[in-house]
Amino acid sequence: MPQHEQDRRSISQAASADLAGIPATSRWVRSGAARLHVLDYGGPGVPVVILPGITSPAVTMDFVARELTDLVRPLVVDVRGRGLSDGGGRYTLEEYAEDTEAVVTGLGLERPVLFGHSMGARIAAATTVRGKVPLGGTVLADPPLSGPGRGPYPTTLDAFLGQLDQAVRGTDADEVAASWPRWPRREQELRARWLSSCEREAIVATHRGFETEDFFDWWPSVPGPTALLYGADSPVVTAEGAAEAAAALPSAAFAEIPDAGHMIFWDNPPAALAALRTALTAMLP
């Protein structure tokens, strides 16, 4: 594939139409020169800023967000370089944290809870430790525990880029299912339509960060209330990794999601959502 095609981000008409069926309002904030897109599900509840994973635009977390609207006000971020948000920058945890702070201040959110999955969990931890915005708590779902001296992230960069190249070429739910056979059909379809909105360099730099930025540089300093959810079969947060994380931050609450790997909300939606609601409820005033 020519290099210019590999670098191209695109959102098809079918992908744009997905937004019409989502019960959320698009909001925009600036973080420096970058425009960031947020899906705001509204409501009077405590704001919960949802930070998705490395190749997960905001729309792919809709099935999680809409199950929380009776409890909180979910706001799902198109993280820099994904979905409708601008790309560019260094894609470090510090820069992602600055973007998250811009969302909180730009939308006037009062003491929101941060909830992140995978990459988003690392961003949530870094944002909380920086302490630049008042927060009501932090929920981390299967954060990559990798870092210098800890071995590689379980999913290779080539695997991510291979899936991205499929999406840029044009893919469908059946092809996505070859990589993610347990996912609900709607989530396979959304990934097929939205993966091409992810910037190649955002994936490359973030994957590099998984192995050069140590999660445990941040984790022991995360102030409470804090919860960590992880899949019982996850290669990202293993039983040994969960034990190390618990020893490093004894005040955090832990929940193991049965019959789930790294993609806990896709692998076992009922159990993962129940654990998330329990964690959020404990943080509500």
User: Model confidence over 214-250: pLDDT tens digits?
Assistant: 999 999 999 999 999 999 999 999 999 999 999 999 9
Using CA atoms, how far apart are residues 242 and 255, in angstroms rounded to an integer?
A: 10
40, containing H or E segment: strand 34-40
Torsional class of 180: left (φ above 0), alpha (ψ -120 to 50), beta (otherwise)? beta
Reply yes or no on domain 17-147+216-281 having CATH 3.40.50.1820: yes
What's the confidence (pLDDT) of residue 23?
96
Assess contact for 27 and 77: CB atoms under 8 A.
Answer: no
pTM higher than 0.85 for the full model?
Answer: yes
Q: Which amino acid is at 11?
A: I
Assess contact for 136 and 281: CB atoms under 8 A.
Answer: no
Residue 92, CA distances (Å) to 80, 222, 245 in order? 11, 18, 22
Instruction: Please list the pLDDT of the chain residue by residue as tens digits (285 residues).
Output: 333 334 568 888 888 899 999 999 999 999 999 999 999 999 999 999 999 999 999 999 999 999 999 999 999 999 999 999 999 999 999 999 999 999 999 999 999 999 999 999 999 999 999 999 999 999 999 999 998 988 899 999 999 999 999 999 999 999 999 989 999 999 999 999 999 999 999 999 999 999 999 999 999 999 999 999 999 999 999 999 999 999 999 999 999 999 999 999 999 999 999 999 999 999 999
Residue 96's Cβ-count burial label (10 Å; 0-12, 13-18, 19+) is buried
Q: Which amino acid is at 258?
A: P
What's the confidence (pLDDT) of residue 277?
98
Using CA atoms, how far apart are residues 57 and 201, in angstroms rounded to an integer?
A: 15
What's the confidence (pLDDT) of residue 6?
42
What's the confidence (pLDDT) of residue 5?
38
Using CA atoms, how far apart are residues 21 and 211, in angstroms rounded to an integer?
A: 37
